[in-house]
Structure 1
């Protein structure tokens, strides 16, 4: 700290027009610019025990996020599952075949599989049911040749209804699995 204060003092003196002679380990003279310049002296470099702060700045690289296409939504409604179960019906299995063909068309793009339920039953039961349905669809797609690393599952339970749960038709529409072929996002 003592050395740092000395450095600040010397730099301040130079800044206001003083000449600083550092010919010995201690400051031997400080004179103002109007004084005659002292004769040249042999100087020894002084090493300060002060951390150096780098002023080198990294160049700023401007990047843009480009979304190459829009997400594609596919929907498996409640008739694809048995009521209260995570088992695909025959119609559901046929729909999975169609979805697998669509997903294969999109090469390496990831697919988000979200399970949803109505609000009948406990929230925890519905959460588990939605997760199980999403996983059943995931496994069916894997069996159709879709790379499992592209498939992301998420159970949302009764949290995101698309219509009212007050009617049987509304509850039926809320029992669904949605697949979203996610857009490709690249940094350029």
Structure 2
């Protein structure tokens, strides 16, 4: 095989030229080889126990660390649900101080969406933004990070695009939660 500016083709054939994904192929002793953590015909897939992060394949963290992070995330979600419940009860009783929590939750949710949509895709961010995204991703790691979901064992692995779906569905889920909780409280008080 020959390498021409990151492209693969056979030497004695006029077959089409296939472009390697960015940073996926390297030239070793004049021969095309997959970069570290890569595999497949065009080096487009990651090796087992690796996940794609931007344009590189990174080794998965230990599963116990992700379990701890997921537990912390579930505790945070439980806290948010309880806070919404209390806020909705106060809102139904016309407590004017309850609106601050809803504003804080909305800002937090929007921040998580921004993190989900900026760090996992191949974009050449400036150095200052790369540091910001790295810090933000470590703070919101389990539910949003594609690395987390692609490193889970097979029955739990929801795929590379799950974080995008999660980020896009989160506002709708929160809106439903904010509608269902007050309706439940009103119905319960009337019955």
Q: Normalising TM by the smaller chain, what interval?
A: under 0.3
The TM-score, its normalising length taken from structure 2, stands at 0.23
Higher relative contact order (CA 8 A, sep 6+): 1
User: Which protein is bigger by CA-based radius of gyration?
Assistant: 1
The TM-score, its normalising length taken from structure 1, stands at 0.24
More helix by share: 2
